[in-house]
Structure 1
Amino acid sequence: MVRTKTLIILVAILLLTMAALAYFYFYVLNNPNDQVENQGMTHLFSIYGWGDKPDELMKRPTGVAADDKGNIYVTLPSRGKVAEFDNNGNFIRSFGSQGMAPGSLRGPIGVAVDSQRGRVYVADRERFRLVIFNLQGKYISETTIMSPVTPAVGKDRIYLSTFGPIAILSLDGKILNSWGSRSRALGGFDYPHGVVVDNRGNIYVSDTNNTRLVALNKKGDVLWTRGRPPAAVLDPKKGLNLPAGLAMDEKERIYVVDAFDFAIKVFNTRGNQVAQFGGSAGNLEGQFNMPDGIAYMGNKVFAIADKFNDRVQVVRLTIPGEEGPFDNFPWWLLLLIPLLMALLRRKKFIANEDFMELVVQDQKLRLLTQVAKRVHVSQQVFDRFADYEEDALKFADIAIVRQYKQEEIRELVEKHDVTENTAAFLALAKKKLAEKILLGRLTLAFEDEKVREVLEGNGKKPPKTINYQEFLDKYEVEEEEAAPQAT
């Protein structure tokens, strides 16, 4: 039995160690995706197209969306297509064709995906259409609307930015309402671009030419704005330079692509900026050239349409202070620790005077310190054995003394007709029964049948009991001399 437990412990420790080392090696030291890191932004990979032919390469990607599997949908206005890739950047399909016929895409700008209902919504600016496809790219229907830019899927509505107002449509594309007009005034919009919706139904719009982020409630009333229309082209106080695409993560933080700053700026739903990523113009990985659309793929990963670099970059954005090197560590392995502790720890005993006298007399074997982690005793028992010689059992090192008021002891003596020593042990046993927890290995060590009788009479199943000889046999202790007997 002892060997089996030891083997289990060693195997568990080995598995934990191997898991920790493997994680550290693959995810900390040699993560192949950690190619470029810039202020919490880690470049994962880029998508430049799906082949070598000219018409299979990205050209001015504009809108980007992601479904619940992390598949990426990219609009290519000059090609009249939407290209779909998996979450590793592998090409799946493209759909749409240039033309004016129903289902054609002459200038697709924005795209949104409704994974639950299996719909892809594409805003075609050139044909003045919101075109609806299924997830396989098959045409379903379309709605005529002036200058559509970017759709966003709400709980039961589609919110569509246009060159002026925000249009509200049903999920099947029927126009229901619109908010605002083309204006610099509060409540107006000038070429709004990105749109996202939170779980409360509030809508957030990047009012691009007014260089501001606008929050609206579900009735279209303005809740707050960040940034303001510029007083001049180079107005340093406008706040946002050219807000474009928007995305929202599971914590409802709003990620704003600021095209002229080549950056992604992060706001909470109260309008406070909490982070900023990027800010470096160029064509290296992790740099941008007029970025446009952005989509959240889950697990802090975003796809960004790097428009003038003719690519989509997939990056991980980590808010400062939120993630360390062990953020993705399989913490479920720590559930093995309580099991290991339960296997490793020695028993806790509740010992009465008779049992303790037998154990303490056996000075050579020091039985209790070999087996027990803690021994719970009453003050009476402790007082009797605390002054043993130093080379005897170091009882004071492992004893936990429980003191009781004399009134409590007298009450137990009268109630159960027992001695004071038995009453003290009985009070201790009752208390430890109430404190017993899962995996707690607790043993009553006594010779007093009266205590057993009282505990069982209370309707509670007492912990396992053990007498001196059982103690020797259970723990395979070989006595060099005959064990002393209780007096």
Structure 2
Amino acid sequence: MLLFNFSRARQFITAILLLLLISGIITVAILVPLLIKFRSEANAQPSTIPVLRWKSNGITVAGVTGSSGDANYQFNQPKKAAWQRPNILYIADYQNNRIQRYEIGSSNGTTISGNGSFGLASNELYYPAYVTIASNDGIVIADRYNNRVQLWFNGNTTGTTIAGTGVSGSALNQLHYPTGLAYDSNSSILYIADYSNDRVMRYVSGVLNGTVVAGGNGFGTNYTQLWRPAGLYFDSFSNSLIIASTNVHAIVQWPLDASNWALTAGCVGISGHNATLLSYPQDVTLDPMGNVYVADTNNHRIQLFMNGQTEAVTIAGTTSISGNNDTLLNGPFGITLDNQLNLYVADTGNHRIQQFLRY
């Protein structure tokens, strides 16, 4: 009887093992083709995260290196370039009191705003410091020394004042040296870095008075203050303004519903040239991944802070060395990216616009 039971048990175990083996074979037969198909499809899809590296040699796409002038191929301290599809740059030609339009690849620009003479008339500008795209046929200009912001449509010979009065002041309808702009195309709201009032103003289309949305509490390094805000970027993802607080040597993030900022890059009140520090940064922009690009003006370089990182890598220029060859910059003020993340730098001290190609 015992032998009989042992034999039956062994047969049962053998049957179970055979069944498990067959099940395993069937499972493998089903999964392997699926895995092969999945990997094949994955390999066929391009990466959604671009490689972030740029050639160290810049290409002069506008201006003449080291040569200031007012010819249509020259600049005198260009402060900002704004890129527009498919291949257009609008350049704030600061001391020539004009905005130049360049098709990338052309050696000559076209004056579309201002007439080269400074003044307060509607066809004049006085040290335009910043330009941004408002629509397919319009640009917005920070007319710095006229203490106003102008809207200028392509083809028009005059601009329209949409903020400021032409007289410096701190009232809600006044500006004092507007220096940076950010335009929210979804809401048609304009944000203005009101430099000498140490604040950022929000202007709604058609309304003469602005609203203080950042700063306005005197200048300083406190978390409720700005100190000479310059370049701006509106981040719709976080509903925040990213601000170059120049004399704080920092880039700060100010949520639109907040009364204070959070540090994004640099060290509050400390100027320097290592990977964590900045020196009088004048402009800032972001890419679609939330990485932060900074015109580190007095360090003669462009810094990239990866999203959430406090240490930067230099992607254009050489730290603390100014010069005019194709690897150097001289007090760069403005930066912008195109849709391929190629970098354009207003190399102000060299009177040129440099393109650094991503590869």
TM bracket, shorter-chain basis: 0.5 to 0.7
Match of 1:245?
A: 231
Q: How does 1:262-411 map to 2 (within 5 A)?
A: 262-270=249-257, 273=260, 275-280=262-267, 281-318=271-308
**Residue 219 in 1 paired to residue 206 in 2?**
yes
TM-aligned CA deviation for residue 193 of structure 1:
1.2
TM-aligned CA deviation for residue 239 of structure 1:
1.1
Identity of aligned residues (%): 18
My pick for the range that moved more, 304-313 or 266-275, is 266-275
**Residue 9 in 1 paired to residue 31 in 2?**
yes
CA deviation digits over 1:329-349, x for unaligned, max 9? xxxxxxxxxxxxxxxxxxxxx
Match of 1:123?
A: 92
Match of 1:147?
A: 127
Q: Residue 209 of structure 1 aligns to a residue in which SS?
A: helix
CA deviation digits over 1:102-127, x for unaligned, max 9? 231111012211125x3211111111
Q: Residue 306 of structure 2 aligns to a residue in which SS?
A: strand
CA distance in 2, matches of 1:109, 1:183: 23
Change (3 A) 1:236 1:4: closer
My pick for the range that moved more, 253-262 or 216-225, is 216-225
Q: Residue 9 of structure 1 aligns to a residue in which SS?
A: helix
Q: How does 1:114-193 map to 2 (within 5 A)?
A: 114-116=84-86, 118-142=87-111, 143-144=113-114, 145-155=125-135, 156-163=137-144, 164-172=147-155, 174-178=157-161, 179-180=163-164, 181=166, 182-193=168-179
CA deviation digits over 1:118-163, x for unaligned, max 9? 3211111111111111133543421222210000111242111122
CA contact (8 A) 1:224 1:271 kept: no
RMSD (Å), alpha carbons: 3.5
TM-aligned CA deviation for residue 244 of structure 1:
1.1
Gaps of 5+ in 1: 18-32, 34-43, 46-86, 321-487
Q: Residue 256 of structure 1 aligns to a residue in which SS?
A: strand
TM-aligned CA deviation for residue 188 of structure 1:
1.1
CA distance in 2, matches of 1:12, 1:93: 51
Q: Residue 197 of structure 2 aligns to a residue in which SS?
A: coil
Change (3 A) 1:162 1:16: same
Q: Residue 305 of structure 1 aligns to a residue in which SS?
A: strand
CA deviation digits over 1:46-75, x for unaligned, max 9? xxxxxxxxxxxxxxxxxxxxxxxxxxxxxx
Change (3 A) 1:253 1:289: same
CA distance in 2, matches of 1:245, 1:9: 54
Letter matched to residue 138 of structure 2: R
TM-aligned CA deviation for residue 101 of structure 1:
1.2
CA distance in 2, matches of 1:12, 1:272: 54
CA distance in 1, matches of 2:102, 2:140: 17
Q: Residue 265 of structure 1 aligns to a residue in which SS?
A: strand
Q: Residue 102 of structure 2 aligns to a residue in which SS?
A: strand
CA distance in 2, matches of 1:138, 1:186: 42
Letter matched to residue 131 of structure 1: Q
**Residue 94 in 1 paired to residue 81 in 2?**
no
Match of 1:113?
A: 83
Letter matched to residue 177 of structure 1: T
Change (3 A) 1:175 1:268: farther
CA distance in 1, matches of 2:57, 2:32: 43
Structure with a larger share of its residues in helix: 1
Q: TM-score, normalised by structure 1?
A: 0.46
TM-aligned CA deviation for residue 249 of structure 1:
3.2
TM-aligned CA deviation for residue 194 of structure 1:
1.1
Structure with a larger share of its residues in strand: 2
CA deviation digits over 1:8-67, x for unaligned, max 9? 4257669999xxxxxxxxxxxxxxx9xxxxxxxxxx77xxxxxxxxxxxxxxxxxxxxxx
CA distance in 2, matches of 1:220, 1:135: 36
CA deviation digits over 1:241-276, x for unaligned, max 9? 121111133525321011122221113344555632
CA contact (8 A) 2:189 2:204 kept: yes
Q: Residue 318 of structure 1 aligns to a residue in which SS?
A: coil
CA contact (8 A) 2:100 2:110 kept: yes
Which structure has more relative contact order (CA 8 Å, sep 6+)? It is 2
